[in-house]
Amino acid sequence: MDYTVNDQTINADEEGYITDISTWSIDLAGTIAETENIDMGDDHWEVVNFLRDYYEEYQIAPAVRVLTKAVKKSLGPEKGNSKYLYELFPYGPAKQACKIAGLPKPTGCV
Amino acid sequence: MDDYTLPELREPVEIPEINTGAMAHSQPFVAAPKHQLALGFPGELVDDWHDKAIAKFGELLESQRALKVYMDACVKCGACADKCHYFLGTGDPKNMPVARQDLMRKIYRRYFTWAGKWFPWLVGAKDLTRDVLDEWYSYFHQCSQCRRCSVYCPYGIDTAEFSMAAREIMDHVGMGQKYCNEIIGKVHDIGNNLGLPEKALGATLEDLEEDLEDDTGVAVRLPLDEKGADILLITPSADFFAEPHVDGLMGYAKVFHQAGVSWTLSSQASEAANFAMFIGSHDQMGKIAERIKDAAMELGVKRIIVGECGHAWRVAYNFWDTLVGPFDFLDPAYPIPQHICEFTFDLIQKGELTFDKSANDHMTLTFHDSCNVSRASRMGDIPGGQFKIPREIIKACCNNYVDMATDTIHENTFCCGGGGGLLTDDLIELRAKGASPRMGAYEQVVKHHGVTHLAAICAICKTQFSKVMPMYGFAMDDIVGVHQLVNNALILDGLGE
């Protein structure tokens, strides 16, 4: 399930997670979001950028709890809960937001 | 929702109309070559897969006496036919346990019995063709190895043993399942199913310690790699990552704090789960278990306690000793291994834990018995302890508790629909439909007894329910962990320390 962005083909696995994180771009994120039926607003980008920063430091996506805390800090207490994150990313902030952020899918019993 | 319809919820469950081939399209992603090779399996389907599969089948029949007996013992009485949640949820007759077994039994008869070799048409013996292999891949990934059918079988035939053996054979011919095999690779490379590196684990635990102190005013610790601690806690890595699992982890930490014991987590063994059981690989199961033993020895602990994970408890309780024992370096005064529920229940009985039950008054609970705890292991020193102990913990910290219908709990429990290596998005239709018997029983206690939440002690159950409960009109956070309830209600000493 590859993506085409600016005439370039970006490889992705069966579920749409890109296979090489260095091929990520802002345009690609927009394309992935489109296939996920998500209209990227400022709050979506806030989450995606946080995920990418966290990944750069820790080589994994943050726990949902860590993410909600960060969102609370930057977007305010009324948005710092998993309900709001699921409104942004209905298929789950961990999995769907990771896909758009170009990060590998969290695996295991999650 | 994709293009499928969920079954209507009914309790007691009704036998669905037969819908031949209803789930023939269901199959998980095949493992990529790198995930296969990392576990010592061929990267892709080998040319001589037929001969290799029969040879492996023969090996398993030699080495696993139960499998051989199960192949011969079935008398087609039909007692199992309506006991599988996947049959009840899909109506596909190949999801009747006897039919699932027969996918393998017909091959057994053809290649390993005298009658099947000479008169295959008389005894239902069939050649192993590519179509059969594909059917195996589909339907042996529609069994969550929950063993409910074995409870009702007069001979005790366990379909889980068939699906484990079939997956082991398929792995050996290069047709493994992506979800399980990728995860097992991560356990070897990084230490856990999630792929959570040591640095991230440390940061997560520090973050949780901060939260605990903010919430309670008490410095409750979540120690990592502390040599000389008395207890090593191994727990599913979902406890570090997912909701509601993480609240349970904080519950364990509070119980240890209150007990005044020294304990630690391990970055080397930062995972209790052992997915090798799901793929029937004794070799991999031993390797995964070994690293827990190594970590325990290296840290010099006296006890190992297992967190809320269903199949991890089965592997620890039933298989550790055979696979990687003896555990004679641990203190024999305590159970080896010990379940976190046993530990907490023991303290409750001694009167060492005080709860503010009103902290859970906004909920009325019921308990979902997880398959591997209920039917494949036990807890405590009395028969049925695995049913009693978690319920007693819930009742100690909650005022409102109601059981679901008796034919859906204890050893008769219905699988959550996501066990046995099927908790993956590519099987979501199967998971959603397979959850319907449990959801039907839950709906009854919601309607008639005002139940609001479902409690469980398994990471797979928690994730599965948070995914499928919204499909049946419940909220995703209606699933809670038992130690999450403990976390809510336990009163801590040492305020302001």
Tokens of B390: 């978690």
Please check whether residue A71 lies inside any domain of the structure.
yes
Domains in chain B, please, with CATH? 33-176 (1.10.1060), 185-402+451-489 (no CATH)
B181 in Cβ contact with B279 (< 8 Å): yes
Q: What is the DSSP letter of B490?
A: B
Q: Which of B162, B141, B191 is nearest to B426 (CA)?
A: B141
Report how far residue B171's alpha carbon sits from residue B176's, in angstroms, rounded to the nearest whole number.
Answer: 4
Residue A107 covered by a domain: no
What is the band of A1 on the pLDDT scale with cuts at 50, 70, 90? confident
- Of the candidates B204, B237, B425, the beta carbon closest to that of A15 is on B425
Domain containing A34: what range? 3-101
Q: Does residue A76 sit within a domain?
A: yes
Q: What distance in Å separates residue A64's CA from the closest CA in chain B?
A: 6
Residue-by-residue DSSP string for A29-88: HHHHHHHTT----HHHHHHHHHHHHHHHHHSSPPPHHHHHHHHHHHH-TTT-SHHHHHHH
Q: Please name the residues in contact with A41: beta carbons below 8 A apart, sequence gap of 6 or more.
A: none
- What's the mean pLDDT when you consider all of chain B? 97
- For the segment B235-258, what is each residue's pLDDT rounded down to a tens digit? 999 999 999 999 999 999 999 999
What's the mean per-residue pLDDT of chain A?
A: 94
B395 near B345, Cβ under 8 Å?
no
Strands (E), B303-425: 303-306, 338-339, 365-367
Instruction: Tell whether A108 is covered by a domain.
Output: no
| Bridging pattern class, strands B338-339 and B365-367 | unpaired
* A62 part of a folded domain: yes
Q: Does a structural domain hold residue A53? A: yes
Q: Residue B2: pLDDT band by 50, 70, 90 thresholds?
A: low
Q: Could B183 and A108 be called an inter-chain contact, meaning their C-beta atoms sit closer than 8 Å?
A: yes
List the single residue in A58, A82, A86 with the smallest CB-CB distance to B197: A58
HSE-up of B337 (CA within 13 Å, CB side)? 31
DSSP string, B180-229: HHHHHHHHHHTSSTT---HHHHHHHHHHHHHHHHHHHSS-----BS-TT-
Q: Hey, how many other C-beta atoms are within 10 angstroms of the C-beta on B81? A: 18
Question: At A17, which CATH number?
Answer: 1.10.10.370
CB proximity under 8 Å: A 8-47 to B = 14-15
Query: Is the whole model's pTM more than 0.90, yes or no?
Result: yes
Q: What is the pLDDT of residues B254-281, one digit of tens each?
A: 999 999 999 999 999 999 999 999 999 9
Q: Which two tokens stand for residue B103?
A: 């996918």
The residue among B144, B241, B370, B471 with the most chain A CBs within 10 A of its CB, best to mutate, is B241
Does residue B169 register a pLDDT over 80? yes
Give the count of domains, chain A: 1
Helix (H, G, I), strand (E, B) or coil at B143: coil
- The gap between the terminal CA atoms of chain B, to the nearest Å, is 51
Domain membership flag for residue A92: yes
Active site residues of A: 109
pLDDT above 70 for B147 = yes
Q: Which residues of A touch B273 (CB under 8 A)?
A: 108-109
Is A67 within the bounds of a domain? Answer: yes
Contacts of A14 in chain B (CB under 8 A): 29, 178, 426
